[in-house]
Amino acid sequence: MSFQKICVLGLGYIGLPTASTFANQGLRVVGVDVNPNIVEILQNGGLHLHEPGLRTLVQAALASGNLTISAHPETADAFIIAVPTPFYENKQADLRAVQSAAESIVPVLEHGNLVVLESTSPPRTTQDVVAPILAKSGMQPGRDFHLAYSPERVLPGHILRELIENARVIGGVDRASAEAGKALYSLISRGEIFLTDSTTAEMVKLMENTYRDINIAIANEFSRLAQRFGIDVWEAIAIANRHPRVKILQPGPGVGGHCISVDPWFLVDAAPDITPLIHTARNVNDSQPKFVVELIKKAANELKGCRVTLLGLAYKPDVDDIRESPALQVISLLVEAGALVTAFEPFKPTGYAAEKVTFTASLDEALHEAEVIVLLVAHTQFIELDAEEVARQTRCRVLVDTVNGWRNPNWESAGFSIYRLGVGH
């Protein structure tokens, strides 16, 4: 199967790099987003995301004329759905964006086309949700057009490289659909491509992130135990990991992002009676921000009226993605306790919509009136801070380190008292 033109629906962290990569390989690509602000920004040559190398990639794709931006799908040889799949407050999957994207394809779907769902989805979404919607075209998936599922498996901060180099799984509603998917992604992928059925492919993505979530949960529980027993969890983990069959992950303020903190709930929602371990791990990681706030309270003595500065809002270091970030829950709990919260996220200086929180555009401003400074994200610029310089910027001498980022003894030498997550005091 050959492809001259593709249509990518959803221009977020996955859709935009995917569309640009295909365009730079010589295909004509229509990038579609329902958010008019995103469409306008991209059409004017701007960028709404921070990802290393992405601006250059997008600008090259636009300049070539191969990538165009639109609010509506057009006829194409292949359609890639890369829209968000969050969950409702009750932890059930919210598939409205997937359903809407599929509905928008129906009027332009043609015989022999390929449709690929990339959005992380509960098992059987491709078969039970997307296929019936596309069948409204009067054509049947697997007979008149190809339908497949191929999950993104990339790490923010390394998306452009991993999009090309990572192994890819493609699950078709039939073998021909899987083969069509392979023909498409072979145009940009250097990694091995594994073919299977669509439900197995959906399950693979959920299994990968659920596995990681469970392993992070035990690390977070170890941090709580260490605080209670008066030891240093970071030292204990380093020693335990010298065992040839042990690899304990690092604890932290919680688990965020649009994958690890979300995907396990899709399995719990789909089969609540047989997923007690997954459910428990999710509850452990979701409750970790409460333990962070308790540590901040211990450092501050009293939260009400205390000026607390939070360094980092993103869910992981050196990215701007704050989706499901545990930092947001920490903020909420601090505000609820009466703290005066200031936050600085260098990759998203405007912060996000939140009441009773001051977002600063510079580190100087964030540190100025702080009484307690909390390291929530191990951004490189925070880890590399000079203790003596920070001491000159603020009168605050109380630090809370939730990511083991400030281990240098210079902090104590500069007069700071450091409260560390997972270290008994």
**Active-site choice (7, 182, 259, 348):** 259
Cα 387 from Cα 82, distance rounded (Å): 43
Helix (H, G, I), strand (E, B) or coil at 347: coil
Helix (H, G, I), strand (E, B) or coil at 130: helix
**Token reading at 371:** 């009484």
Helix (H, G, I), strand (E, B) or coil at 74: coil
**CB 332, CB 313: distance < 8 Å:** no
**Token reading at 165:** 């180099």
- Quick one: how many helices (H) and strands (E) in the chain? 17, 14
Cα 256 from Cα 260, distance rounded (Å): 7
Beta-ladder partners of 311: 344, 375
Kindly state the DSSP code that residue 408 receives in the 8-state scheme. -
**Active-site choice (7, 182, 205, 348):** 205
Residue 7 falls in the annotated catalytic set? no
Q: What does DSSP say about strands 340-344 and 114-117: parallel, antiparallel, or unpaired? A: unpaired
Strands annotated E in 340-403: 340-344, 357-359, 372-375, 398-401
Any idea what the Cα angle at residue 335 is, between residues 333 and 341, rounded to 5°? Answer: 115
Cα 384 from Cα 394, distance rounded (Å): 17
Cα 331 from Cα 374, distance rounded (Å): 11
Active centre residues (catalytic): 205, 259
